[in-house]
Amino acid sequence: MRPERFHRIEAVLRRRQPDLTVLMERVNKEHNFSAILRNCDAAGVLDAHVVPPAHGLDLHHASSAGTRKWIQVQRHETVADAVGILKKLGFRILAAHPGEASVDYREADFTVPTAIMLGAELHGVSTEGLELADAHVVVPMMGMVHSLNVSVASALLLFEAMRQREAARMYERSRIPEAEFRRTLFRWAYPTLARRFDAEGEPYPLLGSDGEILG
The pLDDT tens digits of the residues spanning 76-127 come to: 999 999 999 999 999 999 999 999 999 999 999 999 999 999 999 888 999 9
Question: 34: buried, middle or exposed (CB in 10 Å: 19+, 13-18, 0-12)?
Answer: middle
Same domain, 144 and 71: yes
Same domain, 4 and 65: no
Is the confidence at residue 57, as pLDDT, over 70? no
The pLDDT tens digits of the residues spanning 113-138 come to: 999 999 998 889 999 999 999 999 99
Same domain, 33 and 84: yes
Same domain, 85 and 191: no
Same domain, 192 and 118: no
Same domain, 65 and 163: yes
- Give the domain extent around 157: 18-167
How many structural domains comprise the chain? 2
Question: 134: buried, middle or exposed (CB in 10 Å: 19+, 13-18, 0-12)?
Answer: middle
**Is 93 in a helix, a strand, or coil?**
strand
Among residues 167, 183, 200, which one ends one of the domains?
167
**How large a percentage of the chain has pLDDT more than 90?**
87
Q: Domain of 34: which CATH number?
A: 3.40.1280.10
CB 1 within 8 A of CB 28: no
Calpha distance 211→114 (Å, rounded): 32
Average pLDDT over residues 34-53: 97
The pLDDT tens digits of the residues spanning 193-202 come to: 999 999 999 9
